[in-house]
């Protein structure tokens, strides 16, 4: 693992670990902000219509995925989970477009943009293969190798068939045996 990944992953993960643990312990204000989103999503998705539970679940997801990213355990999965938990957090937590007070609006807009930046970072983490080929590349490489092997085998079979053709024709000729 490169030094950049070794340092960057835990640095990125800290905000998710601390924020997730805080949401687990103190969901109150977050639950109030999330209530409209939870109510609108609950009917469509079948998720519970309990804002506090959803805030805690989101917090647990962020904390666990943050720990996974920080320790390098399945960092691509962790990045995906963090991205998935960050979208509703950003939308419900920082709706700057609803604020009337310009100062509050500006602060919410800054926090919203900060979260969008974090979303970009975790999306990059979710596709980072750490210099190793990803699953798509490995699948395509295996398909290319299988195709190449099949073509070589077909060519070898045609060559062998061509080489043995005179023997096959010899066997097909009727043989006359004369007995004394």
Inter-axis angle of helices 75-93 and 102-127, nearest 10: 160
Q: Are 16 and 65 in contact (CB under 8 A)?
A: yes
Task: Give me the average pLDDT of each 10-residue run along the chain (180 residues).
Answer: 85 95 94 91 87 94 96 91 94 90 93 95 86 79 92 90 72 68
Which of 94-99's residues contact partners 24+ apart within 8 Å by CB, and which partners?
A: 95/33
* pTM tops 0.75, yes or no: no
Report the largest interatomic distance among the alpha carbons of the chain, rounded to a whole angstrom: 121
- What is residue 45's predicted lDDT score, i.e. its pLDDT? 87
In whole angstroms, give the CA distance from residue 76 to residue 132: 12
């Amino acid at each position: 693992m490169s030094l950049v990944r070794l340092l960057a992953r835990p640095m990125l993960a800290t905000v998710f670990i601390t924020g997730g643990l805080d949401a687990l312990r103190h969901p109150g204000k977050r639950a109030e902000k999330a209530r409209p989103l939870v109510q609108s999503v609950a009917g469509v998705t079948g998720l519970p219509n309990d804002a506090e539970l959803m805030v805690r679940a989101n917090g647990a997801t962020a904390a666990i995925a943050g720990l996974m990213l920080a320790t390098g355990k399945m960092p691509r999965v962790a990045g995906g989970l963090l991205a998935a938990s960050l979208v509703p957090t950003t939308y419900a937590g920082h709706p700057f477009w609803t604020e009337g007070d310009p100062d509050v609006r500006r602060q919410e807009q800054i926090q919203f943009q900060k979260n969008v930046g974090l979303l970009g970072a975790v999306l990059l983490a979710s596709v980072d293969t750490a210099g190793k080929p990803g699953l798509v590349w490995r699948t395509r490489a295996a398909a290319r190798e299988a195709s190449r092997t099949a073509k070589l085998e077909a060519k070898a079979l045609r060559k062998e068939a061509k080489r043995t053709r005179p023997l096959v024709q010899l066997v097909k000729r009727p043989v006359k045996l004369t007995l004394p």
